[in-house]
Amino acid sequence: MKIKILHMQVLPLLSGVQNMMLSILDSLDKEKYEIYVACQPGGPLVNKIKEKGYNYLPLNNIRREIGFKDFLAFYEIYSYCKKYKFDIVHLHSSKLGFLGRIAAKLAGIKRIYFTSHGTPFHIYQPLLVQESYKILEKIGGYFGDKTIFVNNYDREFYLENNMLKKNKAQTIYNGVKIPEKQKIFVKKDRITIGYVGRFSPQKNIINTILAAINVCQKDEAFDFIFVGDGELYKLADKMVRGANLQDRIKLVGWKNNILDWLDKFDIFLLFSKWEGLPLSILDAMAYGLPIIASDIKGNKELVVKDCGVLIDPDDIETLVEVILNFKDRFLLLEKMGNNSRKYVAANFSFKNFIDSYHEIYELQ
C-alpha cells in the first residue's frame, strides 16, 4: 500500500515556497507515495499540480489574514485528514502551520511536519503582535512532530526561547541545482540590476523602487528589471511612470523562464525586510550573479562577503551608493558572481536538501 502524503500551501502561486515544495514532491518515488496537495483554488500552482498528476484538494476558506474564515478553514483541513487518512501531513506557511498541525493531530494523523519558511513575527510589528505570534507558534509546536527551519537562526531562536523542544527542531537549508549555463560578464556601457519576487511589503518593494529611481536619476549607466507581481505592483508602476523612467526601470510581471531573465542581470537585488532563506537569491547565486541584499537573517547565511553586499533594509541612501559604486567594475562583478556560484554549490546542495526530507519521511 502506498504512503499517502499531503502538502498544504495557502497561496496557489509559483513563487519560492511553492517551487521548493514541488521539488520535494517531484523527487518522491511515485510507486511508493500517493501525493496530494491542498491550497487556495484558481492559481498557477493548481495547474501545475494537475499537470504533474498529483491529487488536488481545494482550500476554499484559507486566507493569509486572521479572520472568521479560519474556523471554516480549520474544519476543512480536519475533514480532509479524516476522509483520506493521510500517513504524512506536511504544512507550509505560518497560518497553516498553526491551524493545520492542530487539525491534523485531532484527525488522528500520525506524522505531522511543518516547514517554517520564515517566522510570522518580525521587528516591524507592534510588540504585542510579535509576542502573540510567538505564543501561537509554541502552541502549534506541541501538535507537530517536527518543525523544519530553512535557516539556522530561526531554529536557535525557537530553542533559546523555549518555543520548541530540541528533538522537534531541525534545519534543512533550501537547495538548488547548479545550472550548466552561467552568467558571462561582458564590459558594456550599462549595468542592469535585477529583482525577482513578489511586490509586497515583506519584500520592501516600494523602498527598492525608490532606490532604483534615485540611481537612474543620478547616473545614466544603470537600468533595472523587476520580475514579479503582487499587491503593490500598481503603486510601483505608478511611481516609475511618475518619474518618467519606464524605459529604464522595467516591471515585466510574473515570468516562468527565470534563468533567461537572470541572464539579463549583472547584479541581483533583494532588499527585503524579513526572509526565511530566499530561493530567489539562491537561484541568482547558482547562476553566477553578485548579490546586493538586505542585512537580515536568512540573507546573512547566504550572502557572504566575497559574493555580495548586505545593507540595512531601512537605509535607502546606502543602497543607492552601493549600486552606484559598481559602475564600470565588471571584473569585480565577475569575481563576485563566480564566488556566488561556488559558495552555493558547496553549501546549498540540491541533493542534500532532497535527501534530508526523504530521511524525515522515512522515519517511523
Instruction: Tell me the per-residue pLDDT of 70-128, one tens digit each, with 9 for 90 and over.
Output: 999 999 999 999 999 999 999 999 999 999 999 999 999 999 999 999 999 999 999 99
Query: Would strands 33-39 and 3-8 be described as parallel, antiparallel, or unpaired?
Result: parallel
Q: Is the pLDDT of residue 364 over 80?
A: no
The string of pLDDT tens digits covering residues 8-56 is 999 998 888 999 999 999 999 999 999 999 999 999 999 999 999 999 9
pLDDT, tens digit (0-9, with 9 covering 90-100), for 305-346: 899 999 999 999 999 999 999 999 999 999 999 999 999 999
Q: Is 43 exposed, middle or buried (0-12, 13-18, 19+ CB in 10 A)?
A: middle
Q: How would DSSP label each residue in 89-122? A: EEEESHHHHHHHHHHHHHTT-SEEEEEESS-S--
CATH entry 3.40.50.2000 includes domain 191-347: yes
Which regions of the chain carry the CATH code 3.40.50.2000?
3-175+349-362, 191-347
Distance CA 89, CA 313 (A): 35
Torsion 199-201-231-97 (CA) sign: positive
pLDDT in tens, 242-257: 999 999 999 999 888 8
Mean model confidence pLDDT for the chain? 96
- The tally of CA atoms less than 13 A away on the side-chain side of residue 155 is 18
Q: Which amino acid is at 13?
A: L
Here the cell at position 203 is 519584500
CATH topology of domain 3-175+349-362: Rossmann fold (3.40.50)
Contact 39, 13 (CB under 8 A): no
> What are 92's strand-pairing partners?
115
Nearest-angstrom CA–CA distance, 8 and 91: 5
